[in-house]
Amino acid sequence: MPGAGWRPTTGRDFLLRRARLLAAVRGFFAERRVLEVDTPVLGLHTVTDPHIDSIAVTPPPGSTPGAAYLQTSPEYAMKRLLAAGSGDIYQIAHAFRAEEHGRLHNPEFTLLEWYRLGYDHHGLMTEVAELVRSVLGALPVRRFTYAEAFGRFADLDPFDAGPDALRRCAARAVPGAPDLGDDRDAWLDLIMGHLIAPALGAESLDFVYDYPASQAALARRLPDTPDRAARFELFVSGLELANGFHELADPAEQRRRFERDQARRAAAGKPVPALDRRLLAALQAGLPDCAGVALGLDRLLMLQLGAERIEQVIPFPAERS
Where along the chain do its domains lie?
A: 4-135+248-320
pLDDT of residue 142: 97
- Give 130-174 as a DSSP string: HHHHHHH-S--EEEEEHHHHHHHHHS--TTT--HHHHHHHHHHHS
pLDDT recorded at residue 170: 87
Rg (CA), the chain: 20
CB 60 within 8 A of CB 68: yes
Over the stretch 216-253, which tens digit does the pLDDT of each residue have? 999 999 999 999 999 999 999 999 999 999 999 999 99
Q: Band of the pLDDT at 259, cuts 50, 70, 90?
A: very high
In this predicted structure, the answer to whether residue 62 has a pLDDT above a threshold of 90 is no
In the predicted model, what is the mean pLDDT of residues 154-178?
87
Mean pLDDT, rounded, of the chain: 92
Mention every residue, 6+ apart, whose C-beta is less than 8 A from residue 305: 14, 17, 312, 313
Helix axes 277-286, 251-267, angle to 10 degrees: 160
pLDDT confidence of residue 263 = 94
Q: Quick one: pLDDT at residue 300?
A: 97
Q: So what's the pLDDT on residue 65?
A: 62
Q: What is the pLDDT of residue 123?
A: 97
- Would you state the pLDDT for residue 66? 67
Burial class (CB in 10 A: 0-12, 13-18, 19+), 283: buried
Q: CATH homologous superfamily for 4-135+248-320?
A: Bira Bifunctional Protein; Domain 2 (3.30.930.10)
Of the candidate ranges 36-45, 52-61, 121-130, the one whose mean pLDDT is the lowest: 52-61
Residue 1 confidence (pLDDT) above 60:
no
Residue 2 pLDDT more than 60?
no
pLDDT of residue 184: 86
Q: Which residues contact 148 (CB under 8 A, 6 or more apart)?
A: none
Q: Which residue has the higher pLDDT, 82 or 166?
A: 82
pLDDT tens across 174-183, in order?
888 777 777 8
Residues 6+ apart with CB under 8 A from 121: 209, 219, 230, 231, 232, 244, 245, 246, 291
Q: Can you tell me the mean pLDDT for 152-176?
A: 88
pLDDT at 22 over 60: yes
Average pLDDT over residues 90-116: 91
Structural element, H or E, at residue 115: strand 108-117
Indicate the range of 50-64, 98-112, 273-287, 304-318 predicted with least confidence: 50-64
Predicted confidence (pLDDT) at residue 121 exceeds the cutoff of 80: yes
What tens digit of pLDDT does each residue of 181-221 get?
778 888 899 999 999 999 999 999 999 999 999 999 999 99
Q: What's 7's DSSP letter?
A: S
User: Residue 308: is its pLDDT beyond 80?
Assistant: yes
Q: Is the pLDDT of residue 5 over 90?
A: no
pLDDT at 3: 61
Give CA separation, 120 vs 79, 125, 209, 232, 246, in Å. Answer: 16, 9, 12, 11, 5
104: number of Cβ within 10 Å: 16
What DSSP state is assigned to residue 287?
A: P
